[in-house]
Chain A
Amino acid sequence: EVQVVESGGDSVQPGGSLRLSCTTSGFMFSNFWMHWTRQVPGKGLEHVSRINSEGSIITYADSVKGRFTVSRDNAKDTLYVQMNSLRAEDTAVYYCGRGGVYNYGSIDVWGQGTLVTVSS
């Protein structure tokens, strides 16, 4: 079964840091683009970042550029996002998703999400 599972969500103070992980199984992780998408409770989806299969091309939403760093470990079939200088507006459920083999591919597998709360 193809699966992606997020972990690492927690409550953190403004200005703090957090690293989320996305462990995958059931598919050849190293062949696929991967995505992070977030959703403020009760609001819409916001695409945060995507990374190519090799980890050499990464795009970021303007709202997180310079504060978030996405990476992947193809040997461990795992995707990461390092979130620094966290703000209240980063409070959201963070979803990991599998993209396509190509840059334009849809997100066809989603995790259940992990909640990040930024509050003092």
Chain B
Amino acid sequence: QSALTQPASVSGSPGQSITISCTGTSSDIGNYKYVSWYQQHPGKAPKLIIYEVSNRPSGVSSRFSASKSGNTASLTISGLQAEDDADYYCTSYAGGFVPFVFGAGTKVTVL
């Protein structure tokens, strides 16, 4: 599977909304509804925050929302808070038993 492309960094002020993109191909994001997003704080394990394109696991804030259009998936964080300062990674199923690939990650900075 080809790598998924994410912006290296995104920043915003508290209370603002930001969006992180994740661009794949018609073989992964464009063809399946199995896009996931993970949040990782420094020194901590990743945490699943979005599965199957737009679903939030129990306990994840409703300020996190996600969608996809064509070959690009997007994660939006609304009402940005200091605790959202973290790295965010996307992945997508690519069919059969193709190895999973993470995006390179996006560093979100809350100004």
Contact = CB atoms under 8 A, between A and B. Distances in A.
Interface of A: 35, 37, 44-47, 49-50, 57, 59-62, 95, 103-108, 110-113
B74 interface: no
B45 A112 contact: yes
B46 A95 contact: yes
A45 B102 contact: yes
Interface of B: 32, 34, 36, 38, 40, 45-48, 51-52, 57, 87, 89, 91, 93, 97-105
A44 B101 CA distance: 11
A47 B45 contact: no
Contacts, number: 61
Given A47-B99, A61-B99, A113-B45, A108 B93 contact: no
What does DSSP make chain B's interface, helix, strand, loop or mixed? loop
Contacts of A113: 45
Nearest to A50: B100
Contact of A47 (B48, B52, B57, B101): B101
Nearest to B48: A108
A59 B99 contact: yes
Given A44-B103, A44-B104, A110-B47, 15 more contacts: A37-B102, A45-B40, A45-B102, A47-B91, A47-B102, A49-B99, A50-B100, A59-B100, A95-B46, A103-B93, A104-B34, A106-B34, A106-B36, A108-B57, A113-B45
A64 B49 CA distance: 28
A45 B48 CA distance: 13
Nearest to B104: A44
A49 B93 CA distance: 14
Contacts of B52: 106
B33 to A, nearest CB: 9
